[in-house]
Amino acid sequence: MELKGKHTALVKEEALRLGFDFCGISKAAFLEEEAPRLEKWLKENKHGQMSYMNNYFDKRLDPRLLVDGSKSVISLLYNYYPEKNQTTGVPKISKYAYGKDYHEVIKEKLHEFLFSLKEKIGNISGRAFVDSAPVLDKAWAAKSGLGWIGKNSNLINKQNGSFFFIAELIVDLELEYDGAIKDYCGTCTKCIDACPTNAIAEPYIVDGSKCISYLTIELKEEIPSEFAGKMDGWAFGCDVCQDVCPWNSFSKAHNQPLFSNERLLNFSEGEWDEITEETFNIIFKNSAVKRTKYKGLKRNLQFLKLH
């Protein structure tokens, strides 16, 4: 028991040293509650064209199938709430994409984390995940007490709201486990009422195929005309349900310089209108916006202009 406690303290110290804001730990096991929910969501086609959500169903629900002999899921939150927003009146980009692609920034930290644990504890094995493998990261973060899943299906942290990236280390090391906390959404429905496309079908259930983030990033075809006039100016992603959430009044600005891009924040309406592929490649060189490619961004901008 003593060793377990020592290792747990070490994990939490390392998380803070590497700049993670919160760290919680869960026992690696099958996610019983999430299984029927995920199955129902997929059957009802709420994932739209995100066909990858159908893949690795078992692995999504059981980390032991991803990492042999895994015993613990270490969940981590990394703040991306910006100090400054874009110029008003221009096509909007989701806050998480303001700076360098978070995958690259956080993956590097996770590898350092794992290396450091191996150095201090000895022969342990594990894998790092940041939104790039079949891991139900929000479910694990909630299970380890880092917050609760809100009515907009985002993880909400009581101290700092929901503008966080979630990452995991799944390791074959036994640790002391944290417990889930209660849901503090109460009777609030601000996120449901504010969603421009009514994507929050009911509390805690988001119809991905109607979500502006899906329409501007995941959807590869033309945006359906039924969403004309409902895009609320978003060209990449959407923050509406987070912006209206009362818990985000507690959000504090991040201190990660890689997540800021002054050029993007000051991009004028005229510059958006005339954006060329060359400018796109310069401004979004290391950004998550590259996921939609120049063609996708132009499609989104065109749709906003026409409607």
Q: Find residue 200's DSSP bridge partners.
A: 206
Angle of CA points 259, 50, 223, to nearest 5° = 80
- Calpha distance 287→100 (Å, rounded): 5
Which has the closest alpha carbon to 137: 214, 56, 61? Answer: 61
Prediction pTM value: 0.93
Q: Which two tokens stand for residue 50?
A: 């995100």
Active site amino acids: 131
Split into its structural domains, the chain has a count of 1
d(CA 184, CA 157): 10
Q: Strands, DSSP E only, in the chain?
A: 22-27, 72-79, 92-93, 126-129, 148-149, 155-156, 164-171, 200-202, 205-206, 234-236
Q: Quote the Cα angle for 136-292-93, to 5°.
A: 85
Return the SS3 of 139: helix
Q: So what's the pLDDT on residue 46?
A: 60
What angle do helix axes 2-17 and 102-121 make, rounded to 10 degrees? 150
Note whether 93 and 216 are within 8 A (CB).
no
| pLDDT means over runs of 10, the chain (307 residues) | 89 97 95 77 65 64 88 97 94 96 94 95 91 83 97 96 97 96 98 97 92 94 96 97 98 95 92 95 92 96 91
pLDDT of residue 42: 67
> Rounded distance, CA 41 to CA 205, Å?
8
pLDDT for the residue numbered 60: 77
Q: Which domain holds residue 191?
A: 1-307
Give the pLDDT score at 131. 81
b/e map of 176-215 (b: 16 or more CB within 10 Å)? bbbebeeeebeebebbbebbbbebbbeeeebbbbbbbbbb
